[in-house]
Structure 1
Amino acid sequence: MTPRIRSALATTLATTLGTPLVVLGIPLAQADTLTPVWSFANASLNYLDWSSGTERRTADNAAKSDFFYLELEGGVGFEWGEFYGFADLENPGNSRFDADSDGRDNRRTAAKLTSHFYLGDSPFSLYAHVYDFRDPGFNAREQDQVLGLGFRHTFANGLWVKPFLGAARVQSSGHTGMNGYMAGWVAGYDFQAFDQAFSVTNWHEQTFDRADAYLEQNFVGDKAGPVGTNGAVSLWWHPHERLTTGVQYRYANNKLGTPDAYQNAMIYTLKFNFL
């Protein structure tokens, strides 16, 4: 039985009997606490197309190749906090090491979980996130962990933004330890055009003051600079409550294993919304 169903049942019984009961082992107040205010979930098919300039600039340092990936994505919000996460399987039909591409098309995984724990009735929150990437073909892994403060605000026109700033730690095959700081945001705006529903979203991460050992060990060909940029800007079309399609402009610099080189790609996405 889901928390939503248990909460609804507890509320109904308490209202009927006129007493604050403990129902199914969960106090009514706790049941309300566990009831989501909002939630969403989807599965998607994605194709990432690196620019020709990116493929040229990274040919000798963490070479990039276009790829398909499958993704599960979801989020949930409560009165006291919210969570968002995704899990990706890149090149799902390939082996761990793809010999024909010299490893560029290996089967890889990536996952991320972010959270805001609200600080009372203020717009501030305790922010935490974990990002995990693994490329078994090269025996490479990196997990980035961030803990800090977040902020949430929705403007009168509907634009919402959630910036954060936190201390960063990395656990990887090349270096493990504290790794400077990360600042960033997620933002979005919903709008109507041509009698259709659209939205624009942006996620952005700026890492700085990263450890020298990390910059030397976790990049290919040379030591990377201390500041890294990572993000995407997306345009989404929602033709049906169960379907979303969109295009994303993906950008990075001093990230993704390549030092001192700008990397950009287009991502084409089709989502099935099941929640």
Structure 2
Amino acid sequence: MKNVKTLALAVAAAATMTATTVQAEQYYGFANVSVNYLDWSGGTEDRSRDIQNGFAAKSDFVYIEFEGGAGYDWGDVYGFIDFENPNNLNWGEDQDDPSKQFRIAAKGTVAVNIGESNWNYYGQIYSLTDSSGFYEQNIVLGVSYDINTDFGLWVKPFVGAHILNNPGNAGFNGGMAGWVLGYNFKLGGQDFMVTNWNEIEFARDDHARGFCTSDTCTGPGDIGWQNTNGDSTGINGAVALWWNATKDFTLGIQYRYADQKLGTAAYQNAAIFSAKYNF
């Protein structure tokens, strides 16, 4: 029940934040719902299967995402919640292939202005829960910086301390640095946008660098996960091209990438095909 309580607390915190921003001056805001299909490359599936040695390889999946964000005179907020493999909604039941389990992934970020500068106090939380009861949370506390241009490019780099919480590990786990960026442009009279989010974990704790290598390994906390076979640094991110076909409808294709992350001590990549309805 710990993961369920955490999700409830996150929802309550988001509701509280929304209520407190009603009287703030709002500069922008957006919200959408999307249907997405993530297609892992064949090489990624092979590398994951070989390295995990009996632990289920990665599988392609569909997910439904609710996403939103807003900018205020005090800072900005962003968040999403994904429902992965929604056709396998069987909470608490075992799956023959764990990669096909129903999962909930959620992320929230907040940046609070530091005076009149472009610097911000920054925080983010990412939480993953699956139908077997496994959960993992990643919290980052640090600073960020706003870069805005007159030609459509914006960049928000950040750096902070990284705190990890899952059944096998809990506590300080080095640091995380990264950025989100976007570039809006027109082509043939159509509106397009390129986006990129990237996270780099560094100086990870030895206990958080183990990936599954044993035939009997079924998840964090098992003996196979005690081996420190991963690097102290990991990379996670995606590059996307979005076509705003209409005010209400957006199509996108993303290149998803990760290295020494997502349960595999190797490079991984996928294509994501998305269709969004904008509120």
TM-score between both structures, scaled by the size of structure 2 = 0.83
Q: What are the Cα deviations for residues 85-144 of structure 1, in whole angstroms up to 9, with x where unaligned? A: 0000000011345645x222110110000111011110000010000011232x321100
Structure 2: which amino acid aligns with 1:79?
Answer: D
Alignment correspondent of 1:57: 47
Q: Does 1:231 align with 2:231?
A: no
Does the 8 Å CA contact 1:196/1:238 hold for their aligned counterparts? yes
CA distance in 2, matches of 1:183, 1:130: 14
For residue 250 of structure 1, what is the aligned residue in structure 2? Answer: 256
Conserved 8 A contact 1:33-1:79: no
Amino acid across the alignment from 1:48: L
Identity %: 47
Q: Which runs of 5+ in 1 are unaligned?
A: 1-29
Matched, 1:241 2:251: no
3-state SS of paired residue (2:207): helix
The CA distance in 1 between the partners of 2:121 and 2:31, in whole Å, is: 23
* Residue 258 of structure 1: how far off its partner (Å): 0.9
The one-letter amino acid paired with 2:205 is A
How far does the alpha carbon of each residue in 1:198-257 deviate from its partner, in whole angstroms, 9 at most, with x for none? 0000000000001111113xx322531110000000000001111111000000000001
Q: Tell me the SS of whatever aligns to 2:43.
A: helix
Establish whether residue 108 from structure 1 lines up as the match of residue 108 from structure 2: no
Q: What residue in structure 1 maps to residue 219 of structure 2?
A: none
Looking at structure 2, the residues matched to 107 and 99 of structure 1 have their Cα atoms a distance apart, in angstroms, of: 9
The answer to whether the Cα contact below 8 Å between 1:48 and 1:265 also exists between their aligned partners in 2 is yes
CA contact (8 A) 1:42 1:272 kept: yes
Equivalent position to 2:36, from 34, 46, 55: 46
CA distance in 2 between partners of 1:50 and 1:178 (Å) = 31
Aligned to 1:201: 195
The amino acid across from 2:254 in the alignment is Q
C-alpha deviations, 1:14-46, integer Å up to 9, x for none? xxxxxxxxxxxxxxxx98852322110000000
The corresponding residue for 2:75 is: 81
In the aligned structure 2, how far is the partner of 1:105 from the partner of 1:65?
A: 7
Q: Which runs of 5+ in 2 are unaligned?
A: 1-19, 214-226
Aligned to 1:7: none
The count of corresponding residues between Structure 1 and Structure 2 is 240
Asked whether the equivalents of residues 135 and 141 of structure 1 are also in contact (C-alpha less than 8 Å), the reply is yes
**Greater radius of gyration (CA):** 1
1:34 aligns with one of 24, 27, 36: 24
Two-structure CA RMSD over aligned residues (Å): 1.6
Of residues 88-97 and 244-253 in structure 1, the stretch that sits farther from structure 2 once superposed is 88-97
Alignment-derived partner of residue 212 in structure 2: 220
- Distance in 1, matches of 2:21 and 2:158, equals 30
Give the SS at the match of 2:44: helix
Cα separation, 2, equivalents of 1:117 and 1:77: 10
Cα deviation, residue 176, structure 1? 0.2
Q: TM-score, normalised by structure 1?
A: 0.84
* Equivalent residue letter for 1:208: F
1:156 CA drift (Å): 3.2
Contact 1:98 1:105 in 2 (8 A): no
CA distance, structure 2, for counterparts of residue 98 and residue 85 of structure 1: 29
Range with bigger deviation, 61-70 or 187-196 = 61-70
Asked if the contact 1:185/1:204 (under 8 Å) is kept, the reply is yes
Q: Give the distance between the partners of 2:81 and 2:21, measured in 1 at CA.
A: 29
Q: Which amino acid aligns with 2:272?
A: I
* 3-state SS of 1:254 partner: strand
Amino acid at match of 2:49: A
